[in-house]
Structure 1
Amino acid sequence: MDDGIVPYRIEVPETELTELRRRLAATRWPEPETVPDWSQGVPLAYLRKLCRYWAEEYDWRATETRLNALPQYRTVIDGLGIHFAHVRSPHPEALPLIVTNGWPGSLAEYTKVIGPLTDPTAYGGDPADAFHLVLPTLPGYGFSDKPTGAGWDVGRIAEAWARLAARLGYDRYGAHGSDWGNSVTTAIGQRDAEHVVGIHPVPPIAAPDPATLDDLTDFERESLAMLAEEQRDGSGYAAQQSTRPQTIGYGLVDSPAALCAWIAEKYWTWTDHDGDLTAVMSPDELLDVVMLYWLPAAGASSARLYWESFAQVSEWFTSSTVDTVAVPTGCSIFPRDVPRPSRRWAAKRYIDIRYWNVLDRGGHFPALERPDAFVRELRTFFGMVRR
């Protein structure tokens, strides 16, 4: 078995950037939407402005340099090449922490929090809160390999991450994840409980408890309304990616404008802003994410995780039959995240909830949107279980 760990650097040929600009210039645009808002999707004026900035002003080389400042590696697990960043803390007693993003997230999502998490004293914090960070890239995403056969679902990924932790020499570690990462993190808690000191899934995966539906709190009513709205107006992407990822993949791999629209819509919808996305993330930050799907041509391969696991995870969110998790669990609830369970719903699955906090702001990408709050949440929960 090939268990070597090889240093990795992102080195995009200039010809690829030139080709990107050519494709953006050649975009065949549709007519404008017939409504004055986002209800039909990304408005034409918004996307044309963003793509013009992408072609004429965005600086990939600055992003490439910033990402390459992180120690990055590749290793083969279960026959697949996995890319990951491994940022060790200068504090020897730091807790190893596996951090997993989802779709359409990436390594770039965490650049604001890596410093405070690994070296808290450099940011006015306590060395007792330090982490050694392991940030693996999901199969089919970024600079990990694309699976050539079916079977890479969230359970298999969780087992791969457990093997990665062991390969790095970590016998005790924590796990955090959002979006697909919360599914992977939950599965790690079920499959590697012997080594996991605690998990922090954002949000926890929990269905509304039928026993509570006649006695709902205001928070639970609002959560159910948000979930219904998402299922009615915002779930088209998931239906396509979970049933026909190859079909949508042709457009996402071939057209940078299509990929940009597909991803930008989710950041607009899932972040906590008051009508101005730039209030929580800059155009450069958004395009950093898009580039980590465009450059490795990951539009189809990343979507296949929905085909592999969406039905299973949807059942976790809706079924009254609960597959429990016994390891210590911390839950940070960001108000604009969907779905958004209550503690009593979550406690049906996560039977050892040590920490529960509902924050006042934040959405689906808290490390990007609310980095200070994100760091506090991880420090607080893992401070309860790291010893």
Structure 2
Amino acid sequence: MTEPRPFTYHVPDVAIADLRERLARTRLPDRPPCAAWELGTDNDYLADLLAYWRDQFDWRAQESLLNGFPQFRLRLPDVDLHCLRVEGRGPDPVPLLLCHGWPGSVFEFLELIPRLTDPERFGLDPRLSFTVVAPSLPGYGLSFEPGQARFGVEEMAHRLVDLMGAFGHERFLVQGGDWGAFVAARMAHAHPDRIVGLHLNLLPLPRDGGPSPDASPEEIAHFDRLRVWLREETGYQWIQGTKPQTLAFAMTDSPAGLAAWQVEKFRSWSDCHGTIENAIPRDRLLANIAFYWFTGAIGSSFHPYYARMHRDWPIPRGTRIAVPMGYAQFPHEMVRPPRTLASAMFADIRQWNSMPRGGHFAALEQPELLAHEIRSFAEALQS
């Protein structure tokens, strides 16, 4: 294994100019005769977002924010991994791996990381700080190169364990949401000797089946919600999980199409009360979308869905993960199984808290709340 290499990201001027030209040539579909957002991304919202992206959005400012964090690349046999790694400011920082999901990226973590690495800056006790490693998942963002291997959850988990080892972190905490929750849980299953604790804001429990004959009212309500979600909100999974390459042509060629595909998810899954910017600043939203655009990684980012639909569940059924686990349940998360169901997979639930606000993109929407949950989980492990 090679050593991690310091890295700075810079998008060529010609690529930014090309993006603006493509945005200027956008051809929108007709407006359907129905309520806004009823059939998907709203015409008026997208037209306004694209105009802002073309004429006002400052990619260089967002790129500079990203480059304000130490970045590295690690060449492995099948992927050149990209990550942020920020040393904790404290007497004995705890190594922490942060795992994003889809359609997220490392841009989700820019407000969260300082709260973990430099607690004194936020009026917190510096005796508990974290050295944070936040990678672009293999196949995402700058952990993508044209023609490289595709990665499912299982392969991602192995590569990120290698990444932490390359930095000398033989044992570490891991936190994740969305696919990052699956990757983190897979690590805890496959590499329990490496994982000190597992913190999640989404539970990677199987989503088939139904309530048992003696199910509690809470379990019955969960399965009722799950049935609605599977029927109404998972069309993207079937496309990305069966014919991802077909979709990749449109997303790779059209920034408007890429934005439309992603903003509908940011609206549906965040605690935004119908307006994305209530939960996610517009510049950060566009930075995340632009990161997919400039890296060209949208097609490979679909692959975990394909792997999921053509393999067994990534955490083998019947498994009981013994690594200590903590869970933060945000009220607008897509799927919120009760603790009784989670305990079938997680044998050592140390922390289970319901958050007052927030949705699927916890690090992006509520960085202060998520940082507090991670800190309190780490404190519980040390006590």
Q: TM-score, normalised by structure 2?
A: 0.95
Percent of aligned pairs sharing the same letter? 34
Residues of 2 paired with 1:312 and 1:99: CA distance? 25
User: Match of 1:197, SS?
Assistant: strand
Which position in structure 2 is the counterpart of 1:349?
A: 345
Decide whether aligned partners of structure 1 residues 47 and 211 sit closer, same or farther in structure 2, where only a CA change above 3 A counts. Answer: closer
Q: Which amino acid aligns with 1:342?
A: P
Deviation of the 1:60 alpha carbon: 0.3
Look up the match of 1:264: 263
Aligned residues: 383
Query: Residue 278 of structure 1 corresponds to which residue in structure 2?
Result: 277
Residue 321 of structure 2 corresponds to residue 325 of structure 1: yes
Aligned counterparts of 1:100 and 1:330: Cα–Cα separation in 2: 15
Note if contact 1:226-1:338 (Cα within 8 Å) is conserved in structure 2.
no
Displacement, 1:211? Answer: 9.0
How many angstroms does 1:166 deviate by?
1.2
Shift of 1:221: 4.0
Contact map agreement 1:332 1:359 (CA 8 A) in 2: yes
DSSP 3-state at the match of 1:127: coil
Are 1:366 and 2:343 an aligned pair? no
Say which is worse superposed, 264-273 or 162-171, in terms of deviation.
Answer: 162-171
* Partner AA of 2:235 in structure 1: G
Q: Gapped runs of 5+ residues in structure 2?
A: none
Q: Which moved more, 1:302-311 or 1:110-119?
A: 302-311
In the alignment, is residue 73 of structure 1 matched against residue 72 of structure 2? yes
**Inter-partner Cα distance in structure 1 for 2:87 and 2:319:** 34
252-261 vs 74-83, which moves further = 74-83
Per-residue CA distance 1:61-88 (angstroms, 9 max, x = gap): 1001000000001011243100001011
Shift of 1:208: 7.1
Residue aligned with 1:104, SS: coil
Q: CA deviation at 1:207?
A: 4.1
Shift of 1:210: 7.1
8 Å Cα contact 1:206-1:348 kept in structure 2:
no
Superimposed CA distance per residue, residues 116-154 of structure 1 (whole angstroms, 9 cap, x where no aligned partner): 100101110012331100001112211112474656221
- Show the 5 A alignment for 1:15-34: 15-34=14-33
Alignment-derived partner of residue 156 in structure 1: 155
| 1:97 Cα offset (Å) | 0.4
The C-alpha deviation readout for 1:332-375, integer Å capped at 9, x for no partner, is: 11121122111110000011111111222111001111111111
Q: CA-to-partner distance for each residue in 1:78-101, whole Å, 9 max, x for gaps?
A: 431000010111214111000110
Q: Is the 8 A contact 1:183 1:201 kept in 2?
A: no
- State how far apart, in whole Å, the 2-side matches of 1:123 and 1:377 are: 15
Match of 1:337 in 2: 333
> What is residue 134 of structure 2 aligned with on the other side?
135
What is the CA–CA distance in structure 1 between the aligned matches of 2:186 and 2:265, rounded to whole Å? Answer: 25
Inter-partner Cα distance in structure 1 for 2:270 and 2:324: 28
Is the CA contact 2:150–2:303 (under 8 Å) kept in the aligned structure 1? no
1:226 is displaced (CA, Å) by 2.9
Whole-angstrom distance in 2 between the partners of 1:95 and 1:126: 14
Q: Judging changes above 3 Å, is the alpha-carbon distance between structure 1 residues 208 and 111 closer, same or farther for their aligned structure 2 residues? A: same
For structure 1, the 5+ residue unaligned runs are: none
Letter paired with 2:271: D
- Structure 2 matches for 1:76-155, cutoff 5 A? 76-146=75-145, 148=147, 152-155=151-154
Root-mean-square deviation over aligned CA pairs: 2.0
* Aligned-residue offset at 1:310: 4.3
Q: Which residue of 2 aligns with 1:177?
A: 176
**Which 4+ stretches in 1 moved above 3 angstroms?**
146-151, 207-222, 310-313
Q: Does 1:379 align with 2:378?
A: no
Report the alpha carbon displacement of residue 186 of structure 1 after superposing the two structures with TM.
0.3
Q: How much has 1:297 moved relative to structure 2?
A: 1.0
Decide whether the 8 Å contact of 1:208 with 1:341 is kept in 2: no
Query: What does residue 9 of structure 1 align with?
Result: 8
Q: Distance in 1 between matches of 2:241 and 2:208?
A: 25
**Does the CA contact (< 8 Å) of 1:150 and 1:308 recur in 2?**
no
Distance in 1 of aligned mates of 2:8 and 2:193: 33
Distance in 2 (alpha carbons) for counterparts of 1:352 and 1:94: 24
- Range with greater deviation from structure 2 (247-256 or 35-44): 35-44
